[in-house]
Amino acid sequence: MTLEFISLEDRRIIDGPVDKLMQMSPVKYRTPIEIMEKSMRDNWFHWDVPLVDDLNQYRSLDDKTRRAIQKDLGFLSNLDGIQLNTLANSIGRYITAPEYRMALVRQTYEEEIHVLTYDRMISSLDMDPIETYNLFMTDELLRTKNEHIIKMAEILGDDYSGENFVRAIAANQALEGVYFQMGFKVFYVVHKRGKLGGCAQNIRYINRDEMSHLRIFNSMWRDLKAERPELFTPTVLKDCREIIKQAALMEVQWGCHIIDGGILGLTDHIVEGHVKHNANMVVGAVGLEPVFPEVTKDPLAWTDTYLREHGIETNFFEQKVLEYEDKPLEW
């Protein structure tokens, strides 16, 4: 291994020299460092939230709602596992800027916490873990969805290029900003009826983390576009919008599937409107046109109150990292 000095001017997000010593000062890309340090201050563990009351409350729900929750946890646990592997084995391999490399290492750690948290929730609700984790074996729609997400996660694969890296950013924006979000809202809907407070609090912690993850990829998009504008061709931008759009269409289909006609006031129409609104916000945050221009309102806007409490910033599609009171979430 040859050690050499890498100047700030030579530092690049991708295709640059690799600083094996991870020299951090001076900082070139400030936003990922701010996000990472904010996440460190908000550190939490999967054992922090008591779940002792959730089992009896879960058992008091009707069969359809319980089944929706199990399917929801089956997908969410799969999704964080997919993302953990993607960060470690795919997109992270090609990043040469130490600021972004460190931010993604922190994100990978948080995905591990999420995987452990879902496992604890599944066990606490007395679900069969093998059945829940492997729902994709019996649910064809979930299998198709997981396979599509894995395919998107492997965009770089053996065909790395700067253009494909941009597409990979879009795939990660879809994962953090589209696929996760409806799954979180199921727990907020159930908690609105006074049930599963411990699980809902765990989801709020996870939701907060995913906000930060989306900000990382939004920042990466902006910084890379400023650094390598030639990568953002009309064809690439069209593909990125299509990645977000397809994610939304699959998420609508899945959301309607798990609620099976509706649970606790959550309907197919609400699912569709919420998911498509999220997709519009994701593309809008990086300057792209809405993928569903006919959707202008979020029918689940009331769930923003779950994120506003204690000063948590609700507009996670934007770049700015806002401080909020560092104390446990209360109910």
| Residue whose token pair is 């401080």 | 323
Does residue 8 lie in a domain region? no
Once rounded to an integer, what is the mean pLDDT over residues 112-123?
96
Does residue 227 lie in a domain region? yes
Does residue 299 lie in a domain region? yes
| Residue whose token pair is 């609104």 | 277
Once rounded to an integer, what is the mean pLDDT over residues 225-243?
98
Does residue 62 lie in a domain region? yes
Does 272 carry a binding-site annotation? no
Average pLDDT, the chain: 89
Does residue 324 lie in a domain region? no
Does residue 289 lie in a domain region? yes
Does 99 carry a binding-site annotation? no
Does residue 48 lie in a domain region? no
Residue 241 · residue 289 · CB < 8 Å: yes
Q: Report d(CA 213, CA 171) in Å as an integer.
A: 13
Q: Report d(CA 312, CA 302) in Å as an integer.
A: 15
Does 325 carry a binding-site annotation? no
* CATH number of the domain within which 68 lies: 1.10.620.20
pTM: 0.90
pLDDT of 327 above 70: no
Q: Which pLDDT band, with edges at 50, 70 and 90, does 328 fall under?
A: very low
Which burial class, exposed, middle or buried, applies to 324 when counting CB atoms under 10 A from its CB (0-12, 13-18, 19+)? middle
Give the total number of structural domains in the chain: 1
pLDDT confidence of residue 315? 45
| Residue whose token pair is 């953002």 | 232
Q: Which domain holds residue 158?
A: 53-310
Q: What is the DSSP letter of 130?
A: H
Which pairs with CB-CB distance under 8 Å and at least 24 residues apart come from 105-108? 106/36, 106/39, 106/40, 107/39, 107/212, 107/213, 107/216, 108/84
Does residue 286 lie in a domain region? yes
33-76 pLDDT, tens per residue?
A: 999 999 999 999 999 999 999 999 999 999 999 999 999 999 99
Range list of H helices, 260-303? 268-284
Which burial class, exposed, middle or buried, applies to 294 when counting CB atoms under 10 A from its CB (0-12, 13-18, 19+)? exposed
Does 53 carry a binding-site annotation? no
Q: Which residues are catalytic?
A: 118
Does 154 carry a binding-site annotation? no
